[in-house]
Amino acid sequence: MQNYPLQEQDIKIRRLTGEEILGIYTTHSTRHFPKDERKPISSIRRMLADGIYIGYGFYPGKEPDQLLGYAFFTVLPDKSSCLLDYFAVMEDYRSHGIGSLFLQHIKSFFQDIPGFLIESEDPDYAGNTSEYSIRRKRLDFYKRNGAVFTGIRTTVFNVPYRLLFFPLRDNFARKEKEEYPLETIHASYCSIYRRMVSPEDYETQIHISLEETCAAKP
């Protein structure tokens, strides 16, 4: 297996089939995500059947069957809202810039939306210094690649997150300080979860907290 930095021309992104998404989820997510962040496989199947769940795989151009990383998204039918649900780079390819390459390349696959939302574990609720460092690095990674904190904090099935926005249009990304309507982001996030979970779970397991600021900045 290769274990070296890949150049831009060496990588390829392709959309995954439903069966590929299920295969990757059942095979790799148990290693890449803690138990309390993994959905029941029945939820993934339901969202695939509803047409609101899509996935992309990241591959080296010369080894099209060697998975480097993957990203699963929930996208509402009218494409008004999009959430990055799971994103991981395979263990042997970490620390080589694969994640950053993926995020920059994935922009070309979302032409109809201004950006997607990202849930990143809140460092303020880390159980120890090691966990705090991991969560802080993850936030810094997203921000370094252009994501901005929306001013929204959430708790989803008892897991606290900070909600980020990743702009997909150049005119959003180029501005040093860009205000994103908090009400729009909040409504989009709510709409996504109303499709992702049952009404009962939405009322009891999805908690959203808005900070005083009404603008998200880099």
- Answer yes or no: do 69 and 89 share one domain: yes
- Answer yes or no: do 134 and 210 share one domain: yes
What's the pTM? 0.87
- Answer yes or no: do 29 and 73 share one domain: yes
- Answer yes or no: do 81 and 181 share one domain: no
pLDDT of residue 65: 82
Residue 179 has pLDDT above 60, yes or no: no
Residue 214 has pLDDT above 60, yes or no: no
What average pLDDT does the segment 6-29 reach?
87
- Answer yes or no: do 67 and 130 share one domain: no
Q: Which DSSP category does 35 fall into?
A: G
Residue 6: give its domain's CATH number. 3.40.630.30
Coil, strand or helix: which one is 60?
Answer: strand
Coil, strand or helix: which one is 3?
Answer: coil
Domain that holds residue 177: 114-218
- Answer yes or no: do 109 and 127 share one domain: no
What average pLDDT does the segment 121-137 reach?
95
pLDDT of residue 197: 95
From 113, 144, 160, the end of a domain falls on 113
Residue 88 pairs with which residues in a beta bridge? Answer: 70
- Answer yes or no: do 204 and 105 share one domain: no
Q: Within 10 Å of residue 195's Cβ, how many Cβ atoms?
A: 18
- Answer yes or no: do 6 and 82 share one domain: yes
Q: pLDDT tens digits, residue range 52-97? A: 999 999 998 777 789 999 999 999 988 888 999 999 999 988 888 8
Spell out the residues 6+ positions from residue 90 whose beta carbon is closer than 8 angstroms to its own: 28, 67, 68, 69
Of the chain, the percentage scoring pLDDT greater than 70 comes to: 86
Torsion from C-alpha of 55, 35, 76, 119, nearest 10 degrees: -100
From 80, 113, 146, the end of a domain falls on 113
- Residue 2's pLDDT band (boundaries 50, 70, 90)? very low
- Residue 149's pLDDT band (boundaries 50, 70, 90)? very high
pLDDT of residue 63: 74
- Answer yes or no: do 218 and 118 share one domain: yes
Residue 206 and residue 193: Cα distance in Å, rounded?
8
Number of domains comprising the chain = 2
